A and B are shown apart, each in its own frame.
Chain A
Amino acid sequence: MAVNGTRGPGSLVILDPTDESSPDVRTAIERPASLDGLRVGLLDIAKPRGDVFLDRLAELLAERGITVRRYAKPTFTKPMPPDLRREITTECDVVIEALAD
C-alpha cells in the first residue's frame, strides 16, 4: 500500500472501504525467538558473493539441525518476481536474505 505517501509509476489508487482503523503501511512480522520447527529459506538476491555468505549460513544452521530451502532472484536490479515471492511465502516461515558485494 502507500509508502511514505508517494505514488509509484503505474500504480492504481483506490479509496479505503474500511473504517481506516488499521495502518495502511504493512509492517514486518516479529522476529521469532527461535528457529526451532520453523521452515527457513535463504534468499540470494544475485549480488556477487552472496552465495558464499549463504553457503556458510546453511552450514551453521545445519549444525543446529535446521535444514534450509534455497532461493535466488534472477537479478538484484529488479524487484522479486511475484511467483518467487509467492513460492517463498507458501514454503517458508522465515527467510534470510543475503546482501553482499
Chain B
Amino acid sequence: MDLLDEGLVAVVKRDCPTCQLVEPVLADLSRAPGLRVFTQDDPAFPAGVADRRDDTALDASLALDIETVPTLVRFAGGVETGRVVGWSRAQWTELTGVADLGEGLPEHRPGCGSRTLDPDVADELLVRARGGSLRSRRLEISALEDEAEALFDRGFSDGLPVVAPTPARVLRMLDGTSRKPDEVVAVVPPNLVEATVEKVAINAVLAGCRPEYLPVVLAAVEAACTDEFNAHGLLATTWAAGPAIVVNGPVRAEIGMNWAGNALGQGNRANSTIGRALQLVIRNVGGGRPQGVDRAALGNPGKVGFCFAEDEEGSPFEPLAQSRGVPAGRSAVTVFAAEGPRGVVDQISRRPESLARSLALGLRGVVHPKLVRGFDATLVVCPEHARVFADAGWDRARLEAALDEALLLDRAEITRGAGGIDEGVPPGGSDQPLPKFRPGGLMIVHAGGGAGMFSAVIGGWAGGPGGSAPVTREVEPWR
C-alpha cells in the first residue's frame, strides 16, 4: 500500500460528492510532488492526480484508520503530523501550506463514510484484520448444502436450528469479552477437553447469543465445570436433571434478561440462549450427548437450556448471589442441577407460617414424598407469595428455617411399606424425624410476574459431595 514518509496522503472514493467536489483541488496539489491519493472504489478517480493508487482492497484505508472520505493526512519523518476530515478550505490550507485552494468551492463540506465502514465489506475486513487470532479448525459448507441442514448433519445442534459460526460472527462475539481467544475457560466433561474463550464463543454464536451475553456464558461454563458442580455426573445420570443458571447483579438489566412474567419460560433471548450456550459447550466441546454419556431416562425440556434472572428489586430476600458470598452490586451466575419446574398454588395463606408450610408440602414431592436427604431442590418464590413474607418481615434465613422445620418428616410416614408403598426410607435407627433436604440442599430464588399466588419447585439431583452442589461465579472477571 506504500504510505508516504514525507508529504500528503489523501483517501477518497468516487461515490462521495465531497470527494468529487475536491477533485480539482487534489489535481492542483498534485502539480507539486508529495501528494499520493488512495481511491477506495474507482481506480480512475480522481482525474488529474499523478500519484494515484488503487485502494479497492482497502488496505491503506485500514492502515490509516479512515472513517470518513475525503481524509487528508500529512506525514513527516514517517509519522503522521496532521489530519483533516471532509473539505474545509481553512483546514486544507493550513495542512498543505498552499493558499487559495478550491476557488469557487464552498468554505466547508462534510465528507462521506469510508468504504471500510460499509456493511457489505465490514465482515470481510473484520476477518482480514483479526481472523488470524482464531485457532479453531475451519470447516466448509459447500454451496450445494443448505446451511441450516449442514449444521444439523454435522451434529452441532441440540435439535433446534443453530446460527452458523462464521469467523466474522465469532470475532464479533469475542468483542463481548476482554479475555484472549486462546485463554482456557475450563476443562469440560465428559471428555475433559480444555475449552478456550474462542470455543465458548463459537458455541455462543451457535446458541444465538449476542456478544454482551458472552461474559455470562463464560462464567457459567467456569461454574459448571467445577468439581463441586460435577457436570459429568449430572450429565451421565439416568435422572432427568440438567444444568440451570440463575443470574444476579447489574448484568441482568444490561443485557435485557427476564426475571418477571414468564421468567422460566420462552421469549427472552438472553434467558434462552445463555442456558443453551452452556449446554452446547457440554455437547460440542465436552462431547456429552444424549444416549452417549448423557444417560438420562427421560431428561426434561430445560435441557435445551435453562437460565433466568433473579428479581432482586422486588424481593424481600437478599439476592441469591450475595447470600452465597458475592459482594453487593456485582454480577454473578449460580449453576444448579434442575428438573423442570413444578408450580405450587396457595391462594389462601396470608400468614408466613401457613405459606411456608404450604410450600414445604410442594417441596416434599421432590424425588419421592417418602425419600429424604438424597436430592437437592430450588424454590422459586413468586412476587405475590414473597409479599406475604415481606409484610411479615421474613428474610431468606427465616423462610429457610421455617421450611426446614416443616420438612422434618415423621419416620412412621416415610418408612418402607408405610402407606402401602414399598418405597421409602429403610426402617431402623432412631425415631427422630428426618430432614427432607441436606443442610444447604434447598436454594430460594425470587422471580416471576406480578399476578399469581404461585411459586415453583425445581427438583435437583443427588446433592453435595457425592453429587452436585450449586456453584456461584462472578461475571466481572469475564468481561
Contact = CB atoms under 8 A, between A and B. Distances in A.
B143 A14 contact: no
B140 A15 contact: no
Contact of B202 (A9, A17, A82): A17
Contact of B166 (A12, A18, A24): A12
A31 B140 CA distance: 27
Given A1-B154, A12-B164, A12-B166, A17 B284 contact: yes
Interface string A68-97: 000000000001001000000000000000
Nearest to B286: A19
Interface in A28-60: none
Contact of A13 (B167, B193, B280): B167
Interface string A1-16: 1110001111111111
A10 B145 CA distance: 10
A16 B139 contact: yes
A17 B141 CA distance: 14
Given A17-B156, A19-B287, A11 B136 contact: no
B203 A17 contact: yes
A38 B143 CA distance: 32
A63 interface: no
A82 to B, nearest CB: 7
A101 interface: no
B138 A2 contact: yes
Interface string B165-205: 11100100000000000000000000101000011001100
B147 interface: yes
User: Which one of B136, B140, B206 has the greatest number of beta carbons of chain A within 10 Å?
Assistant: B140
Nearest to B146: A82
B69 to A, nearest CB: 30
Contacts of A79: 144
A18 to B, nearest CB: 5
A1 B151 CA distance: 11
Interface string B455-471: 00000000000000000
Given A1-B154, A14-B166, A8 B199 contact: no
Interface residues of B, number: 33
Contacts of B203: 17
B193 A17 contact: no
Contacts of A82: 144-146
B142 interface: yes
A97 to B, nearest CB: 17
Interface residues of A, number: 21
Contacts of B167: 13-15
Given A2-B138, A79-B144, A15 B170 contact: yes
Interface in B67-92: none
Contacts of B193: 19
B367 interface: no
B134 interface: yes
Contact of A15 (B134, B142, B143, B285): B134
A15 B154 contact: no
B232 to A, nearest CB: 15
B202 A16 contact: yes
B129 to A, nearest CB: 16
B206 A17 contact: yes
Contacts of A8: 140, 142-143
B138 A15 contact: yes
A11 B142 contact: yes
B285 A19 contact: yes
B180 to A, nearest CB: 16
B140 A18 contact: no
Contacts of B191: 19, 21
A33 to B, nearest CB: 27
Contacts of B166: 12-15
A19 B137 CA distance: 10
Contacts of A16: 136-139, 202
A14 to B, nearest CB: 5
A71 to B, nearest CB: 18
12 contacts: A1-B139, A1-B140, A2-B138, A10-B142, A13-B140, A14-B165, A15-B134, A15-B138, A15-B202, A16-B139, A24-B137, A79-B144
Given A17-B156, A18-B156, A18-B287, 9 more contacts: A2-B139, A13-B167, A15-B138, A15-B167, A17-B280, A19-B191, A19-B285, A82-B144, A82-B146
Interface of A: 1-3, 7-21, 24, 79, 82
